[in-house]
Amino acid sequence: MTSEISKGEVARPRIDLLVQSVTDYAIYMLDPTGIVISWNAGARRFKGYTEAEIIGQHFSRFYTDEEREAGIPAIALDTAARVGRFEAEGWRVRKDGTHFWANVVIDPVREADGTLVGFAKVTRDLTERRAAEEALRRSEERFRLLVQSVTDYAIYMLDPEGYIASWNAGAERFKGYRTDEILGAHFSRFYTDEDRETGLPARALETSRTQGRYEAEGLRVRKDGTHFWASVVIDPVHDASGDLIGFAKITRDLTERRQSQLALEQAQEAFFQSQKMESIGKLTGGVAHDFNNLLAVIIGSLDLARRRMASGGADIGRFLDNAMEAAERGATLTQRMLAFARKQELQLETVDAMALVRGMAELLQRTIGAGVTIDTRFPLVLKSVHADPAQLELVLLNLAVNARDAMPGGGGIIIAAREEQIGRHGELAPGSYVCLSVTDSGGGMDEATLARAMEPFFTTKGVGSGTGLGLSMAHGFAEQCGGRLILKSQIGEGTTAELWLPVSHDGVAPAPDPGERDVIGVLERLVILAVDDDRLVLNNTAAMLEDGGHRVLQAVSGRQALRMLAEEKVDLLITDYAMPEMTGAQLADAVREGWPELPVLMVSGYAELPDGAAAGVPRLAKPFREGQLGRAVREAIGAERPSGRILAFRAR
């Protein structure tokens, strides 16, 4: 007869097998008094006792002496019996006396009728985890002490919205706030009112969040309201999942360093000023020499012309031409000085270099003289360059004069051009360039002279024989155009000045209008009020305008001009800028208010006007010729007006 076996009797051996197979947990039974009545492989592994050694022993032997004296084992069993569970972590003792950190869970075991028959005890060895946690805690504590000990840097945390979550001793030292005063406040309170109004704090956090870092220097505000100069770095802080949890902010007080830097800059500025004054002293002799030569030509030629006219002679054209050429050379010299004193704004456009040099041929030969020959070597086709045509003419003329001066006994000058492609590793930015070169057959320069040749005021022509600005101005012009000036020279082999200019990508250079210098295009016959405190200049300007067919009113001051405007109907106001009592810019502002429709043309001998002066007002640079004045009038009035009729007057 087959006996029946209950499901519980079948399951019990399987449960025993499961418990005995667990090695990471000590799982064993206690009787109601705490005596060990079962023992698994996990308990044997990390507590060290064999089953035979521990069965029948009280479980309190696993506790430290201090806990046994405090009655912790009995409290644990009592809590499990009353509450239904006991759980704790603490030190436990192995068979060999060593300690380990354990997580302990004790559950009561009862019969179906509720009778307590013992306890199920599960213990896990957490020694390694606790060691790691303790190491992390010690590391964090060391880092906290490190941050708190730093006094030269403010190191603190912000939450994602910019509110302060931590504060170190450095922040307290130079920002002035104690920890209890500042925690929970928004970090924008350290910024100036102007920075807060422009939203700088929010932009700083956004930059840090999107770009991974924000760094800047600027003024910050202490608790007492004083300002200090700070270097600021803000880094985003993310958790393990990559979510933004705040920002780490490091601030350093650079006030002393900035003050030292400003003091150094002031000392350097004073030194540079003394050097500048020394350079001006060197410049004076050269400028006086050049201008005296030019004035000698102008005065002498005009005196001869006047004498010829008084005696009835008609051949005065060559004397007037000499005076005009000398005056133009004086204007060129003035432009060079103004460009050096204040960076001159270039009018960059597409320029046909071959046509420009051909157009200069007569001027070059007259300037260089008969003792020097000029030869040009250009390819059949040459791309246009991106440059200011007027300044390019000036630079080429200056290079040719330098070449002539290098050959006091006469010789030859070669003006050549070639196109080259510059790669990534050249001295110039990559791209297409035209190299215009001026080569002389003179004695050349040694290495020391060549190294200083482009320095402002440096000249080898002797005291009073040159300004020393020519090559430095050519160098500045080339760099403003995006190119470069390169000098090549050796003793006994002459000198080559290479002017590298970028190829223009704006198409073909416009062909010059043969009559552009002579034809004055205007709108009808105009009533023009001319204003200048220098009567010689005023009379000359008025004569040019009257020669163009206009009616001209004259005023020697801004106040006189305003009185005349109130009495006369005027089509155009032409005013000098530099006048006493009321400048031309102030006069233009007054005209805007009283006569808003009246066009104004500003005339000035300065390379630049002060910022904001006569903004939007057309300008004409002194000195000017009649044709230039006519074109400026046309531009100031406008090419078309309702019921207007364009007339053309040819300058005589």
- Domain boundary among the residues 477, 502, 527 is at 502
Domain-terminating residue out of 502, 532, 557? 502
Domain count, the chain: 5
Least confident of 3-12, 104-113, 473-482, 540-549: 3-12
Whether residue 613 is contained in a domain is answered as yes
The whole-angstrom separation of Cα 636 and Cα 625 is 17
* Residue with more model confidence, 411 or 283: 411
Domain boundary among 319, 339, 359: 339
**Residue 324: which pLDDT band, with cuts at 50, 70 and 90?**
confident
Q: Per mean pLDDT, which range of 242-256, 340-354, 440-454, 587-601 is the poorest?
A: 340-354
Reported as half-sphere exposure (CB side, CA atoms, 13 A), residue 216 has a value of 14
Q: Which residue has the higher pLDDT, 138 or 375?
A: 375
DSSP state of 64: -
- Is there a single domain that holds both residue 172 and residue 218? yes
Structure-model confidence comparison of residues 123 and 321, the more confident one? 123
Q: How is residue 612 annotated by DSSP?
A: T
- Same domain? 350 vs 498: yes
- Name the pLDDT band for 446 (thresholds 50, 70, 90): confident
Question: Does residue 543 lie in a domain region?
Answer: yes
Same domain, 308 and 421: no
254-291 pLDDT per residue, tens:
887 777 777 777 777 766 666 555 555 555 555 665 66
* Cα separation, 127 vs 46, whole angstroms: 11
Considering the domain architecture, whether residues 588 and 644 belong to the same structural domain is answered as: yes
- The CATH number assigned to the domain holding 246 equals 3.30.450.20
* Residue where the block lists tokens 């705490």: 34
Range of the structural domain that residue 80 is part of: 7-127
Q: Are residues 60 and 187 in the same domain?
A: no
Clarify whether residues 615 and 524 are in a common domain: yes
For residue 138, tell me if it sits in a domain.
no
Residue 510 lies in a domain: no
The answer to whether residue 412 is domain-embedded is: yes
* pLDDT-derived band at 336, boundaries 50, 70, 90: low
pLDDT beyond 70 at 226: yes
* Mean pLDDT for the stretch of residues 397-405: 84
Q: Is the pLDDT of residue 141 over 80?
A: no
Helices (H), 369-423: 389-405
- Residue 100, judged by CB atoms within 10 A of its CB (0-12, 13-18, 19+), counts as middle
373 & 428 share domain: yes
pTM value? Answer: 0.39
Percentage with pLDDT > 70 across the chain: 78
**Residue 10 vs residue 648, higher pLDDT:** 10
* CA-based end-to-end distance of the chain: 148
- Is the domain of 601 the same as that of 568? yes
CATH number for the domain that contains residue 477: 3.30.565.10
Q: Which of 257, 256, 250 is nearest to 190 (CA)?
A: 250
In a domain, 538, yes or no: yes
Q: Would 276 be classed as within a structural domain?
A: yes
Residue 608: CATH number of its domain:
3.40.50.2300
pLDDT for residue 647: 36
Same domain flag for 122 and 159: no
Residue 267's pLDDT is what? Answer: 72
Within 13 Å, how many C-alpha atoms sit on residue 583's CB side? 11
Same domain, 334 and 348: no
372 domain residue, yes or no = yes
Answer whether residue 251 shows pLDDT above 70: yes
Task: Supply 471's token pair.
Answer: 């090559």
Q: Do 79 and 166 belong to one domain? A: no
Are residue 381 and residue 452 in the same domain, yes or no? Answer: yes
Buried (b) or exposed (e) across 398-415, using 16+ Cβ within 10 A? bbbbbbbbbbeeebebbb
Quote the percentage of the chain above a pLDDT of 90.
33
More confident of the two residues 297 and 395: 395
Say if residues 499 and 473 touch (Cβ distance below 8 Å). Answer: no
Q: At what angle do helices 361-368 and 389-405 cross, to 10 degrees?
A: 30
